[in-house]
């Protein structure tokens, strides 16, 4: 049971607080699943680069448009 809460705290809580996923504007077709996938990709990429605070990592990467691409080794 504790493992389930670890997943809840690592993924779902971050998506709810940082991305406000409980108030979606995208509701039709496959768009909600695609947006969730993109959010998970961003969270995973930030965690792989050592960011524990996802919100701070997003702010850091938002300052320069090339940083997210460099994080994913896309130049």
State pLDDT tens for residues 5-60: 666 666 777 888 888 877 777 888 998 889 889 888 888 888 888 888 888 888 88
Torsion of CA 58, 49, 5, 55, to 10 degrees: -10
CA-based nearest residue to 13, from 64, 55, 41: 55
pTM for the model stands at 0.69
Inter-residue contact 68 to 49 (CB < 8 Å): no
């Amino acid at each position: 049971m504790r493992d389930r809460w670890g997943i809840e705290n690592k993924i779902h809580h971050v998506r709810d607080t940082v991305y406000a996923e409980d108030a979606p504007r995208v509701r039709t077709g496959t768009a909600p699943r695609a947006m969730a996938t993109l959010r998970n990709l961003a969270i995973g990429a930030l965690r792989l680069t050592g960011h524990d605070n996802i919100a701070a990592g997003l702010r850091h990467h938002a300052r320069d448009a090339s940083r997210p691409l460099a994080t994913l080794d896309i130049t």
